Amino acid sequence: MRIVSAAVTGFRNLQDNSFDFSPRVNVVLGRNGMGKTNLFEALNFFALGRSHQGSKADEMVAFGADTLHVRLDVEEDTGPLIRCEFGLDRSGGRRLRVDGEPVSRRADLVGKLVTVFFNPDSIILVRGGPLHRRQFVDQGQAEIDPLYLASLSAFNRTLKQKSGLLRDMRKGLINRGQGQQELDAWNKELAAHSAVICAGRQDYAKLISPFAHNCHHELTENETPFLFAYQPNLKTAQNQLLLPPEQQFKKSELEAEILSEFDYIKGDEIQRGRPLLGPQLDDFEVRSDGLDLRVFGSQGETRTAAVSLILARGDVLFQRRKIRPVLFFDDIFSELDRHRSRQLQEMASRLHQVFIATARKDDVAGWNPDQLKVWQVSDGCFTNITLK
């Protein structure tokens, strides 16, 4: 998949710019605060249906302007050119279009542009709390199984209802008999969604782990075993992990087992006024050479592990959907040694279109891949240059 060209108007400090990108390697050089991340945010917005930094529309619209507009022409390896556009107003208005047709649901965007983003924050995938690993897996699994996204949304909605009910029951705002009945209904629904989520997370961790091992191996150039493994909160899902493939629970069995776990803990949950079990508490192990990198990884090791996992997400996407995501590297080379940085640049650009932003020319100096395009950005204005 490639972004062929783009035109940006009224987006943060970016001047009205249009771009013809290289299908292989695009490098953006510029001092701090010049607009590199802003360009990447604009290019990625369509992939996520939101800012990758979680910014609100009125933060992205240029100071002094009322509206912004970004147009991308995107091409799959074998597909036609797709025109993706989005417009945002300071007042909150929002327009998304694919080939001129308005799109309202996020689900309709999925797959039109698929990107993978690396920035200095990517390290939280390994270093941060379990939420980041759950989000990573959920996003990856949703990319290969759209039904997973539906179950996940339904699960989150139901969990909210159950949490509200348990709070009300604890405060005595609801009659105990009626509360119990409602709780049983929510638990039944949650068990059904949890079964899909646990199975999906288990599958995804199994699928991505060998790809991540390969990326890690290539980046570090040593044979250290690298592992990404599901650590479910529910006993049922833990047991499932230990079963050989031919004895795995069927979905209905998984559901029934999970429901009995929820039933068992019900009394405690009512007493504490909050849900105590479920996939909202899942985690994933990240191990290199047997060492838990979540706790013991050095900066560089942790970053390498995060990069391996994120790159592996691209491999999974290709294996399952024949999609090669566009890769963005925003300022991530400063904490990798020179050799590892170059290795990563070579690996990434072998099969993907890549975008690299850096304030340090040294990060890319001496690198001369095919079809390299380089821009220098100054105060939001981009000019093509040749790298010496």
CB under 6 A: which stretch of 26-34, 157-165, 243-251, 263-271 binds ligand ATP? 26-34
CB under 6 A: which stretch of 27-35, 186-194, 199-207, 254-262 binds ligand ATP? 27-35
Question: Based on CB atoms, which residue is closest to ligand ATP, 82 or 381?
Answer: 381
Total number of residues binding ligand ATP (CB under 6 A)? Answer: 17
38 in contact with Mg ion (CB under 5 A): no
Q: How far is the CB of 252 from Mg ion (least distance, A)?
A: 49
DSSP 349-371: HHHS-EEEEES-GGGTTT---TT
Residues 6+ apart with CB under 8 A from 80: none
**Helices and strands, number each (H, E), in the chain:** 11, 15
Residues 6+ apart with CB under 8 A from 114: 1, 47, 143, 317, 323, 325, 326
37 in contact with Mg ion (CB under 5 A): yes
Single out the residue of 38, 187, 240, 345 in contact with ligand ATP (rule: CB under 6 A).
38
Task: Give the sheet arrangement for strand 226-231, strand by strand.
Answer: 226-231, 283-288, 291-292
Residue 63: name the closest of 112, 125, 10, 107 by CA. Answer: 10
- Residue 63 binding: pick among ligand ATP, Mg ion, none (C-beta 5-8 Å cut-off by kind): ligand ATP
Cβ distance 209 to 191 under 8 Å? no
Cβ distance 133 to 281 under 8 Å? no
- Residue 200 binding: pick among Mg ion, ligand ATP, none (C-beta 5-8 Å cut-off by kind): none
Distance of CA 143 to the CA centre of its chain: 10
63 in contact with ligand ATP (CB under 6 A): yes
- Residue 52 binding: pick among Mg ion, ligand ATP, none (C-beta 5-8 Å cut-off by kind): none
Hey, what amino acid is at 188? K
Euclidean distance between CA atoms 305 and 110, whole angstroms = 26
CB under 6 A: which stretch of 55-63, 161-169, 239-247, 264-272 binds ligand ATP? 55-63
Euclidean distance between CA atoms 281 and 297, whole angstroms = 23
22 in contact with Mg ion (CB under 5 A): no
8 in contact with ligand ATP (CB under 6 A): no
User: b or e along 9-47 (b: 16 or more beta carbons within 10 Å of the residue's beta carbon)?
Assistant: bbbbebbebebebbebbbbbbbeeebbbbbbbbbbbbbb
Cβ distance 277 to 237 under 8 Å? no
CB under 6 A: which stretch of 57-65, 106-114, 218-226, 363-371 binds ligand ATP? 57-65
Query: In what helix (H) or strand (E) does residue 159 lie, and over which residues does it extend?
Result: helix 146-170
Question: Based on CB atoms, which residue is closest to Mg ion, 36 or 287?
Answer: 36
52 in contact with ligand ATP (CB under 6 A): no
- Residue 253 binding: pick among ligand ATP, Mg ion, none (C-beta 5-8 Å cut-off by kind): none
92 in contact with ligand ATP (CB under 6 A): no
Burial class of 146 by CB neighbour count within 10 A (0 to 12, 13 to 18, 19+):
exposed
Q: How far is the CB of 13 from Mg ion (least distance, A)?
A: 11
Q: How far is the CB of 261 from Mg ion (least distance, A)?
A: 45
44 in contact with Mg ion (CB under 5 A): no
12 in contact with ligand ATP (CB under 6 A): yes
33 in contact with ligand ATP (CB under 6 A): yes
Q: What is the dihedral of CA 176, 179, 185, 191, to 10 degrees?
A: -90
| 312-331: contacts with ligand ATP (CB under 6 A) | 331
359 in contact with ligand ATP (CB under 6 A): yes
Residues that bind ligand ATP (CB under 6 A): 12-13, 30, 32-38, 59-63, 331, 359
State the residues that interact with Mg ion by CB under 5 A.
Answer: 36-37
